[in-house]
Chains A and B, each alone.
Chain A
């Protein structure tokens, strides 16, 4: 590994037409994602999940006898004409499920080795947008955790991308590497994507804050193949996005230590996620994005144990 590696420019993490197209393409290859419906979010917004109760929906639910004092216009005269009683037509309450997506866009994600297909930030963004697109297509409501409102419009990827762009301008591309600690409402779902090269205690605390009210979610840790294999040798000078420097006369000496530390870090992350009832998965940028998307969709559609 004689070549030197650098971080991509800061602006590389901004969503561009390329990422949006990739996300739409990815989402287009799979059917719309209807989130597990057993426990739809308690929102009044109408959606595809029948609540098996009377409410404001499109499909017929039941006729019930007219109760004195009701508005006469709610009487269904066609049905009432069949016998001597008055009936009211009720429709099924149909509500939408909620999915929050979040992907790490911090500078450490702006990294792509020659072995990878995409930079980590790009892969995370594409996955998040593709998930959002799938859900919006199915009529679910999607939002970027801590940034946008929920919306189910069909151009949701556009909206997310625009919101991200303006946020990138506001923050000068210095995105935080953990999501904001906004408590999620019960039965909402979240998907967090990132490299999570952070303090494990901090990660656990943030996850606890998010899941405090019983929301469920999935953590997908993205890594570059170089970060797993550590294929460096010879004279080298390592640096990270924060500016920390490490000069190595012979880089291969570090490989063994690094791999063991990485394994323990990942184990700790998984432990923290499981503690909240969330799932944790790994995904390398040398693998196709479809793999990760499929596993996320399976997890979201199955809705775990609860």
Chain B
């Protein structure tokens, strides 16, 4: 139902307006209230009766106000919608929507769907059918359905992470047009040429007249590539056209999705831009994914695999590796220096051909620490490696000095002639500052780094150019030479500390890092595909991108890709990581060297329109706001009329009105669902108050005694000490969380079954965390000295078999537990002669006289009493003993309670009473 541009979603509600006269009558007869007075002693005068007064009528203006309010609410409930005029459908036939669903459509996918929805709804209102063709599924025939079917199909679509070919969709479109002649064709284009855009547009224009094309004026932005340069990770960016936002932020993430860094970029007025991510090389090596902030598409994500990240460095030592003395191995210093930013490979000990195997593993840098590179086969392999762009880093040593090796940047003086006499310096030499053309330029040689021995280069032409570092007297320390794309570097010292202490300095690490960065550049330029780790084996997809650029599980259609060869991104090979998760190979949506060209439709007879259109306006919120304001006015009027007008009420009303006015128009936001973890109220209570706990044994009588005993003990504690415990609680060690209770009392009831091993494990953990379990075997009355073990002890022994307990001993007289609050001789309960066991103390000190109290380093995790403590503690409501004591007497009960107080204090304060500062006080009180 619609009048002009105004339509109602629930027009039947408007019928309620007809009931307005009824409302008029109803409101008219409702009188204002008399003053209502609450009066508690009303009973005293309830039987008195006096005559009443008559009510007044509602004034007319208030009546009108209320009726206007009612009318507004009714109108709002009818759901009025104001729809601005849209272009009417040109033709009478069904609607055919062609949807580009490659990744360029992803950033504004929601708007595309909205535009498509509004078209479909428009067709639906006009009673016409609609069909949707997604380009990526172009070969499927277009099925005509009603608007609801088309909408549900539209919502099932999502952008694909590649460029689908558009041309294969043409036959299906042609068939549809042929079948439904007067069809209205609308193409929601992503605005990118991608190989066949103009050809497709031309054929579409030929297919039917009046084809409409919807485009987003904003350009598509994409990441074309990223390179790990010496100081920064450089990413190159593309956009399809000038316009829109030129600046943005490039973000780098690691394998686990943690943000590592951000770099700004600016397209300025061009189509390309570069973002430089300056990060420490260790962190740069961890970068696995780059994306453009705010641009959610597969093209705006660039994945980096191991090839772009860590250099693989092979280490070979010439000397035999002494495992027992690692500091003497040259590789030790190299490992420490290179480990943080490189992937180190070493040959297996005893490998007959370590260099060959490392080259087979595909290292980028080969470090030879005084390892010989002689032999025809080997030198040929090394030459091949250099020709492929590899870097060889050599360190000198006794073997190299002995000569016979040509693989050096400069000729070395060799034989006994060169070393010894010429190099017997009086003092070790320091390093000279680095030249400007050296890759080490900028590093500062530390004053304490000295060289006491080195191999010498033959003075020859070009040697200064090859020299990267030199000593203070000008002799080269590091020389290097480019051999084809490869690089050969020689340190004229050993990699260990025998010739120089340079390997100990920070400079050594920095030099190696620069060399590693340099090598990355070399290897990359030379052969991008030379690092394929596994030859021609197919790599299964492990994680792939969807159209929005989100990494996820690969779809069922994804197939393994071959490691070698140029793979084109397609439905079968979505962009993502392929191969084993620890050494994945990345496939990116934008192929290397690809361009982003805008779709050119000039000269074609297509009706071009913008994607975003005016939205229909829901009139409900303003109507409801107006009704609310009227309701406030009505409330004010009622207050005035009812004689309850007060200044405060007026001010409050005014504040309310002002406060609500700006809040009213935006619709209420759904509150984010709060995730709340379930915590039992009992745990909450236990966490809030320190309380004693007892183990529920299953024997109701024993449990009741425990409860009574601990209740009385808690009361005594509250009365006499600084501790104010909450009511005691029964716990089940297998089920309940024990962390809240400092002390758990466990009376042994040997008749009850043993709790499972789970509870023993949990109890062990509780003790390890610092809890104290007070076991009470309650058998002092039956235990004969030297007699057989009682049932309770057997029970306890079996239960504790799996718990890691410390050694126990009977409580010594000077144990701190007998001094923590009261000075006691022993812990008594219903009986007095039972033994109490506690963690054994360290051996007695030499001068026991000065140490009246002893304690271990921590609180004993367990105390095993046998005197039935709880029964002695238990008192009635008036403090009387509830259970007979043996031998008996008020004093014994008092002593039992004092023992309990001491144990609790021991649990809570630990060994502090054993501290020396209390010695004087304790001695004084002991002597008294």
Contact = CB atoms under 8 A, between A and B. Distances in A.
Interface of A: 1-7, 41-46, 55-56, 71, 74, 108-109, 111, 139, 149-155, 185, 195, 197, 224, 226-227, 232, 234-241, 244, 246-251, 253-254, 257-258, 261-262, 265
Closest 9 pairs (CB-CB, A-B)? A153-B718, A45-B879, A240-B42, A44-B879, A43-B878, A108-B40, A261-B44, A4-B36, A235-B34
Contacts of B880: 43-44
Given A44-B879, A150-B877, A153-B718, A227 B40 contact: yes
Q: In terms of DSSP, what is the predominant structure of the interface of chain A?
A: loop
A190 to B, nearest CB: 16
B755 interface: no
B700 interface: no
10 contacts: A3-B644, A5-B39, A56-B890, A56-B891, A74-B891, A150-B878, A238-B39, A239-B37, A244-B42, A251-B37
B53 interface: yes
Given A74-B891, A234-B35, A265 B877 contact: no
Contacts of A43: 878-880
A251 B35 CA distance: 11
B670 interface: no
B891 A152 contact: no
A196 B890 CA distance: 44
A7 to B, nearest CB: 5
Interface string B741-765: 0000000000000000000000000
Interface residues of B, number: 36
B40 A249 contact: no
B643 A2 contact: yes
B43 interface: yes
A1 B39 CA distance: 13
Contacts of B893: 56
B50 A244 contact: no
Contact of B46 (A237, A244, A253): A244
Given A154-B724, A250-B50, A240 B37 contact: no
Contacts of A262: 41, 44
B43 A244 contact: yes
B45 A257 contact: yes
B689 to A, nearest CB: 10
A151 B37 contact: no
Contacts of B38: 5-7, 111, 238-241
A1 B644 CA distance: 11
B46 A246 contact: yes
B894 interface: yes
Contacts of B36: 4-6, 236-237, 239
Nearest to B878: A43
A3 B647 CA distance: 13
A153 B715 contact: yes
Contacts of A227: 39-41
Contacts of B46: 244, 246
B890 A55 contact: yes
B857 interface: no
Contact of B718 (A3, A44, A56, A152): A152
Contacts of B877: 149-150
Contact of B44 (A139, A237, A258): A258
B48 interface: yes
Contacts of B715: 151-153
Nearest to B877: A149
Contacts of B53: 235, 249
B894 A56 contact: yes
A158 to B, nearest CB: 9
Interface in B1-60: 33-46, 48, 50-53
B437 interface: no
A32 to B, nearest CB: 14
A251 B34 CA distance: 12
A254 B50 contact: yes
A253 B890 CA distance: 69
A261 B878 CA distance: 44
B719 interface: yes
Contacts of A108: 40
Nearest to B881: A44
A164 to B, nearest CB: 16
Nearest to B727: A159
A258 to B, nearest CB: 5
A253 B50 contact: yes
A193 to B, nearest CB: 15
Interface string B867-895: 00000000101111100000100110110
A261 B34 contact: no
Contacts of A241: 38, 40
Nearest to A44: B879
Contacts of A154: 718, 724
A229 to B, nearest CB: 12
Contacts of B52: 247, 249
Contact of A197 (B35, B37, B40, B879): B40
A254 B48 contact: yes
Contacts of A74: 891
Nearest to B889: A71
A208 B183 CA distance: 98
A217 to B, nearest CB: 18
Contacts of A139: 719
A281 to B, nearest CB: 18
B824 to A, nearest CB: 12
A205 B879 CA distance: 30
Contacts of A185: 878
Contact of A247 (B34, B43, B879, B894): B34
A249 B51 contact: yes
Interface in B887-921: 887, 890-891, 893-894
Contact of B39 (A150, A152, A240, A253): A240
A55 B35 CA distance: 66
Query: Could you say which of B33, B878, B881, B894 has the most chain A C-beta atoms within 10 Å of its C-beta?
Result: B878
A153 B715 CA distance: 7
B719 to A, nearest CB: 5
A155 B50 contact: no
A139 B718 CA distance: 11
A37 to B, nearest CB: 17
Nearest to A139: B719
Nearest to A54: B890
B891 to A, nearest CB: 6
Contact of B34 (A155, A237, A244, A258): A237
A123 B220 CA distance: 73
Contacts of A155: 718, 724
Query: Could you say which of B51, B719, B887 has the most chain A C-beta atoms within 10 Å of its C-beta?
Result: B719
A152 B719 contact: yes
A258 B45 contact: yes
Contact of A248 (B44, B50, B718, B719): B50
A44 B42 contact: no
Contacts of A224: 40
Nearest to B711: A149
Nearest to A155: B724
B715 to A, nearest CB: 6
Contacts of A109: 40
Given A237-B36, A262-B41, 18 more contacts: A4-B644, A6-B36, A7-B40, A43-B879, A44-B890, A45-B878, A55-B890, A139-B719, A151-B718, A197-B40, A197-B44, A224-B40, A227-B39, A235-B53, A236-B35, A237-B35, A249-B50, A257-B48
Query: Could you say which of A150, A195, A240 has the most chain B C-beta atoms within 10 Å of its C-beta?
Result: A240
Contact of B40 (A195, A248, A251, A254): A195
B440 to A, nearest CB: 70
Given A3-B644, A152-B718, A238 B40 contact: no
Contacts of A55: 890
A209 B37 CA distance: 36
A197 B39 contact: no
A227 B718 CA distance: 43
A244 B46 CA distance: 8
